[in-house]
Chain A
Amino acid sequence: MLKDITIGQYFPGDSIIHRLDPRFKIVITLIYILMLFAGDSIICLGVGAVFTLFAIILSKIPLKMFLKSIKPLLPFLVLTAVFNLVFVKSGEVIFEWKFIEITDEAVSISIFMFVRIILLIMGSSLLTYTTSPITLTDAIERLLSPLKKLKLPVHELAMMMSIALRFIPTLIEETEKIMSAQKARGAEIDSGSFMTRARNMVAILVPLFISSFRRADELATAMECRCYRGGEGRTRLRQLRSAPRDYIALAVSLVFYGVNIAVGIIVK
């Protein structure tokens, strides 16, 4: 069922990671990504892996959930690894079969890339798993607010995002209803020829668009009635307050970042 899709994959919880200020979480995630791409030795990745594992344990979200987030991307990852194996030609050849030559460097590069991307996915999943989409939107708006001076519509973009998030469940429910209604009129949605199916998609999309426009129109009026006039002078119920733990978390991640760079230099 469509309803089972959870957008943003948020897992409500009360761990220290959940409670971190979302602005700090975003910044730390960015630092983490930089860290993964800065070092190019296996040891650097090791430091990254320790950091990830440490954060996952603190989040109290089962490791299984993170492995699940990798699963859909696995074919892509394997393919990249195979390409690296076959096409990297530098280093000593350690395996040869017909026209395929595999070098020691190819092996290390493919493992390296493989692990790096996995760590990247796990790290960013941690952000979305522990932060509700609406909080995330809010934090992005505030982090980007200096850009308002450059006339970038930061508030408007954030408002659009949060309204979109609000209406996703409503529209999913509506789509299901329309699908059932058309099925009851004999529309074939999961079977039949391509042409009939395409035609039947029209029977679902047209009503869905019409109702979305109607909703948008009514919502706009309702917002006007509640004195909405853009981002100027708005105050917020959701207060983002940074606590000492946020600075500690930031410091810890900076230390990891430092260690990572140091290791990189020493190894060289």
Chain B
Amino acid sequence: MAILETQELTYIYSEGSPFQKTAVDNVNLKIDEGEMVGVMGHTGSGKSTLIQHFNGLLKPTSGRVLLDGEDIWADKKKIRDVRFKVGLVFQYPEYQIFEETVYKDIAFGPKNMGLDEAEIKRRILETAHDLGLKEELLERSPFELSGGQKRRVAIAGVMAMNPRVLILDEPTAGLDPAGRDKILGHIKKYHERTKNTILIVSHSMEDIAGFADRILVMNKSKLFCYDETEKVFARAEEISKIGLDVPQVTKVFMKLKEQGLDFGKDVYTVEYAKKLLLKKLSERGGV
């Protein structure tokens, strides 16, 4: 059953002015409950505009956004409830932190939902655990923390609302490889525990390749493709033509194919490449 659906979704910026621009052009898609979706597209492809429609921060110029089969704009007054059901973590979310303690900052969202103190506390402890934030950190000022920790606090602030769909806009931007792996690992853990639907926007296919069930690619305001990860990577050539980077290991296998060594499979992680090659090599007879 689709949890999120768009029907002929179109969004035009500054309509009627000389700066008019169609940012999202007739997008139709269905996202199933519990899936982990990678969202890709280069800057200006419309992906950021698209995700801001999922929680009602932007209102479609035409078309509809359905959450559980219901138009989120059917009753304008209920749009705030939609934001609790579809959580959105912006790029560089650490810049939205404002409270004196980590605990209070994470509590901001749950408090706005009108939850009671006990429930808020339970959720904060849970999400802090998911994100690897130690309990003693909760009473510290968020501004004393390291960059990576701050980002995790900000993500926790949205996770603690326990949204059925969690959207993260480039959660690893600007982090070093260790910080990146840490955050992606925590998100994965959260996904395993809650089984909530997750959308991760990223420029890096290498990041997404490891764990997305499906990949959505936006190009020039249009939906370029939305399909299972393997099927999307099978189109690696097309994808690199629209200016997105495919993982280096995929490029290695593209080269091999060009040179007549076709493994008949689409490879997009080093782990898989290793398994595949070792299997093929041993089939051919030992070291």
Contacts and interface: CB of A to CB of B under 8 A. Distances in A.
A211 B96 CA distance: 10
Contact of A182 (B87, B89, B96): B96
A190 B230 CA distance: 44
Would you list the 8 A-B pairs with minimal beta carbon distance, nearest first?
Answer: A186-B112, A206-B98, A185-B109, A181-B96, A184-B88, A181-B90, A203-B98, A207-B98
Contacts of B253: none
Given A203-B108, A210-B143, A183 B95 contact: no
B98 A211 contact: no
B95 A184 contact: no
B182 to A, nearest CB: 22
A21 to B, nearest CB: 30
A89 to B, nearest CB: 51
B98 A185 contact: no
Given A177-B90, A180-B90, A186 B96 contact: no
Interface residues of B, number: 23
B52 interface: yes
Nearest to B158: A185
A211 B157 contact: no
B94 to A, nearest CB: 9
Interface in B76-123: 80, 83-84, 87-90, 93, 95-98, 108-109, 112-113
B83 A178 contact: no
Contacts of B98: 202-203, 206-207, 210
B281 interface: no
A186 B97 contact: no
Contact of B84 (A174, A180, A186, A211): A186
Interface string B237-256: 00000000000000000000
A182 B57 CA distance: 11
A186 B83 contact: yes
B79 to A, nearest CB: 10
A104 interface: no
Interface of B: 52, 55, 57, 80, 83-84, 87-90, 93, 95-98, 108-109, 112-113, 143, 157-158, 161
Given A203-B98, A207-B97, A210-B143, A185 B52 contact: no
A183 B57 contact: yes
A122 interface: no
A246 B113 CA distance: 64
A184 B112 contact: no
A76 B55 CA distance: 43
Mostly helix, strand, loop or mixed at chain B's interface? helix
Nearest to B92: A177
Contacts of A186: 80, 83-84, 109, 112-113, 161
A185 B143 contact: no
16 contacts: A180-B52, A182-B96, A182-B108, A183-B83, A184-B89, A184-B158, A185-B83, A185-B108, A185-B109, A185-B157, A186-B80, A186-B109, A186-B161, A202-B98, A206-B98, A211-B95
Contacts of A174: 95
A184 B55 contact: yes
A207 B97 CA distance: 6
B96 A178 contact: yes
A253 B90 CA distance: 55
Interface in A167-189: 174, 177-178, 180-188
A208 to B, nearest CB: 9
Contact of A184 (B57, B113, B143): B57
Contacts of A181: 88, 90, 93, 95-96
Given A184-B83, A206-B98, A207-B97, 17 more contacts: A178-B95, A180-B90, A181-B90, A181-B95, A182-B96, A183-B57, A183-B83, A184-B55, A184-B87, A184-B89, A185-B108, A185-B157, A186-B113, A187-B108, A203-B98, A203-B108, A210-B95
Nearest to A174: B95
A180 B143 CA distance: 21
A178 B158 CA distance: 14
Nearest to B100: A206
A85 B174 CA distance: 65
A205 B90 CA distance: 17
B220 to A, nearest CB: 22
Contacts of B83: 183-186
A174 B92 CA distance: 11
Nearest to A180: B57
A177 B93 CA distance: 10
A210 B96 CA distance: 10
A180 B95 CA distance: 12
A207 B95 contact: yes
A188 B80 contact: yes
Contacts of B108: 182, 185, 187, 203
A33 B80 CA distance: 52
A207 B84 contact: no
A34 to B, nearest CB: 38
A94 B228 CA distance: 86
Nearest to B88: A184
Contacts of B109: 185-186
